[in-house]
Each structure stands twice: as structure tokens, then as C-alpha cells.
Amino acid sequence: MADMGYRVLGRTGLTVSEVGFGAWAIGGTWGPVAESDATAAIRAALDRGVTFFDTADVYGDGRSECLIAAALRESPGTPVVVATKAGRRLDPHLAEGYSAANLERFVDRSLSNLGVEAMDLLQLHCPPTEVYYRPEVFEALDGLVGAGKIRHYGVSVEKVEEALKAIEYPGVETVQIIFNIFRQRPAGLFFAEAQRRGVGVIVRVPLASGLLTGKMTPETAFAPDDHRSFNRDGSAFDVGETFAGVDFETGLSAVEELRSLVPVGMTMAQFALRWILMFGAVSTVIPGAKDAAQAAANAAASNLPPLDEPTMAAVSDLYSRLIAPQVRHRW
Ligand SMILES: NC(=O)c1ccc[n+]([C@@H]2O[C@H](COP(=O)([O-])OP(=O)(O)OC[C@H]3O[C@@H](n4cnc5c(N)ncnc54)[C@H](OP(=O)(O)O)[C@@H]3O)[C@@H](O)[C@H]2O)c1
């Protein structure tokens, strides 16, 4: 545990590991992941002091929630915070669906999957923008807090503007957002406002879906049921969730340039995570991991030295030149 850093998750007051665990890939939509590998990944994260797990009711239709619950049952008493999400079971996925009755139904199902009577943190799962302009949705969440089913709630957003609107609701204690070397805009106004309001910031897609590990080439192939095969054009969900919305070839060229900036003693994946941890507004970063080795390597990023100023400036310059034109005005 000693090698992991911990931060406070905004006004929730919860202390969480600064490197958490993103549990989408162990649910589904990322090609096959054996249950044994998924469980070993969770175990490896726990062993290295990870205390924040992010999942959702739709990841593998509940598989991800159930795998986390099963692993935690093996480690009773571990002070872990599990965040799940609701909303994406709606089909069609429309703002009108975010009713008090539907939200309660989704929460009840997640409580059952997680095997708990109250969940630590519920996040709206990238709802349509219109939802942020419907105070009744947030009143419904307040109702679920009052009923003792959720302890805290927040939102997972696609766009900076959605985040800024969401945190105007006093009950919104956390925002989950994409922030990485290829997606730097949240570090501006949003981070300042989140800090000012004491909102916890959960950083997702930190490795740009694996691109920022430096292991991919133009020949890298993905399984047909991996979103990196079927969502490159955004035909299944927001294209920003796949490679952070960066065109694969552009991303690969930028990664080539990044190589020279990675300090000795770090992998590129750890460098990408370390870069995110340089920002004080970040409460926790949640890389996905499909096996124990990935989970352990990601957790170890917490204990690596901070990046120096010239390196931070060089990353900023690379983003401005190569990546920003594709993403800056979209999210
Ligand atoms: N709408 C939402 O709210 C939303 C959307 C997206 C993500 N999330 C959350 O954010 C989490 C993180 O984002 P993400 O999983 O989309 O993307 P990510 O963390 O950027 O990338 C994860 C993928 O990178 C590869 N990888 C991870 N660690 C590695 C390592 N050390 N070495 C080599 N490869 C490594 C693995 O895939 P391969 O080995 O197959 O390359 C892994 O599945 C998710 O798990 C989920 O909890 C939420």
C-alpha cells in the first residue's frame, strides 16, 4: 500500500487511490477477456493499493459489476470505493428516459449486482446534453440519496460544457471526463471551476484506449467485438470514447514523437498516467486493465517521479501541433 498515493474525491470527503481501476474492458466491448484474467487484474490492483473502481451497469450487461463484487467479497474490510453508472440501459437513449422511476430501477439492479444495500457513487452515464437542463433528474438523484440507496452522485460527461453545467447542481459531487495527452482542454476552465466548487474529478480513457501505451502500429488488429474495430467512426457511441476521438494514424505519429520524452525508468503508459497526475484538480485516474500485469504496471505509475517542466511544455507543444486541431473544438 505504501507505494500508492491517495487523494480526496472532492466534497464526498472520500479518500481514493490516485490511480484507480477502470472496469469497462473486463465487462465487454474490448474483445474477449477471460474471467480469470479479469479477476486477477482486480486482485493485482487491490494488492497495489488501488481503492477506487469504476464500472457501469451496461459493461458486459452487469458482468463488470459482478466481477468487482466477487473480488471484493474475497477481501472483506478493504476500504474500497466503487463507482457505477446508470442511464445507458435506456433504448432509445433519450433525455426523457432519465425519470425517477427508471433511475431507481437501474440503481436497484446495480445494488443487486454489487451485492450492497447502498452504493458509494452513482454517475449518470454520459446522458444526452438535454439532461443537464432538467433539474428534475438531479432531484430524482437527491431522492435516491434520501432513500439511502446511493451515498453520493456525479456525472460522466462527454463535453467540457456539460461538466460546467452539471456542477451547478449542488448535489453533483464528482465529474468523470476524458483527459489525457491527446485531450487537454479540461485542464483549462473546467479544472479551475471543479476545484473552486470542491468537485471530485475522475479521469477516464487516460491511455487513449491503449494508443498512449506506445504498443500499437498501423498493423495492430482488434477483435470484431472490440470498439477499436467497430466504433472508429462513432457509429455505436460517441467517437471520442475510441482513441479519445483521434484518428488512429494521427495518434500513431504523435506517439512516435512522444517516445523521446518518456523518462528512463517509465513505460509510455506510465508516462501518460504520470502526466495526468501532475494536475492537482485530478482526484483519480482510472486506466482500464485486462490482466494482472497491466493493472500492476498502471498502479505503479503513482510512485514514479513527477515530470519536469520542459517535458510538460514539450507535451503541450506536441498536443497543440498534432492533436488539438482534431479534438479541441469537439469536446
Ligand atoms: N462513458 C463513460 O463513462 C466511460 C467511457 C469510457 C471509459 N470509461 C471508464 O474509464 C476507464 C478507462 O478508459 P478506457 O478503458 O476506455 O481506456 P484506457 O484506460 O485509455 O485504455 C485501456 C486499455 O489499454 C490497454 N492497456 C491498459 N493498461 C495497459 C498497460 N499497462 N500496458 C499495455 N496496454 C494497456 C488495455 O487494452 P489492450 O490490452 O486490449 O490494448 C486496456 O483495456 C474504463 O475502463 C471505464 O471504467 C467510462
Per-residue model confidence as pLDDT tens digits over 184-201: 999 999 999 999 999 999
Q: Does the pLDDT at position 136 exceed 60?
A: yes
Average pLDDT for 127-138? 98
Q: 122 has which bridge partners?
A: 84, 153
Write out pLDDT tens, residues 162-175. Answer: 999 999 999 999 99
Ligand 1: lining residues by beta carbon, under 6 Å = 22-25, 30, 54, 85, 125-126, 156, 176, 204-210, 213, 215, 241, 269, 286-290, 294, 297-298
Residue whose CA is closest, atom 8 of ligand 1? Answer: 204
Summary mean pLDDT of the chain = 97
Q: Does the pLDDT at position 1 exceed 50?
A: no
Q: How confident is the model at residue 26 (pLDDT cuts 50, 70, 90)?
A: very high
Q: Is pLDDT larger for residue 144 or for residue 76?
A: 144
Global pTM reads: 0.98
Residue-level pLDDT at 77: 86
Residue-level pLDDT at 273: 98
Which DSSP state fits 321? I
The answer to whether the beta carbons of residues 281 and 7 sit under 8 Å apart is: no
Q: Is pLDDT larger for residue 3 or for residue 66?
A: 66
Question: How much distance in Å is there from the Cα of 209 to the middle of ligand 1?
Answer: 5
Residue-level pLDDT at 204: 98
Q: How far apart are CA 297 and CA 269, in angstroms?
A: 8
Question: How much distance in Å is there from the Cα of 24 to the middle of ligand 1?
Answer: 7
- The number of angstroms, rounded, from the C-alpha of 133 to the middle of its chain's C-alpha atoms is 23
Contacts 24+ apart (CB under 8 A), 29-36: 29/59, 29/60, 29/225, 29/226, 29/227, 30/226, 30/227, 30/228, 30/288, 30/290, 31/222, 31/223, 31/225, 31/226, 32/223, 32/225, 33/290, 33/291, 35/67
Q: How confident is the model at residue 264 (pLDDT cuts 50, 70, 90)?
A: very high
Question: How much distance in Å is there from the Cα of 204 to the middle of ligand 1?
Answer: 8
Average pLDDT for 208-215? 98
Q: How far apart are CA 252 and CA 318, in angstroms?
A: 13
Residue whose C-alpha cell is 452515464: 125
The answer to whether the beta carbons of residues 128 and 93 sit under 8 Å apart is: yes
Q: Does the pLDDT at position 2 exceed 80?
A: no
Q: How confident is the model at residue 266 (pLDDT cuts 50, 70, 90)?
A: very high
Active site residues: 59
Average pLDDT for 296-303? 98
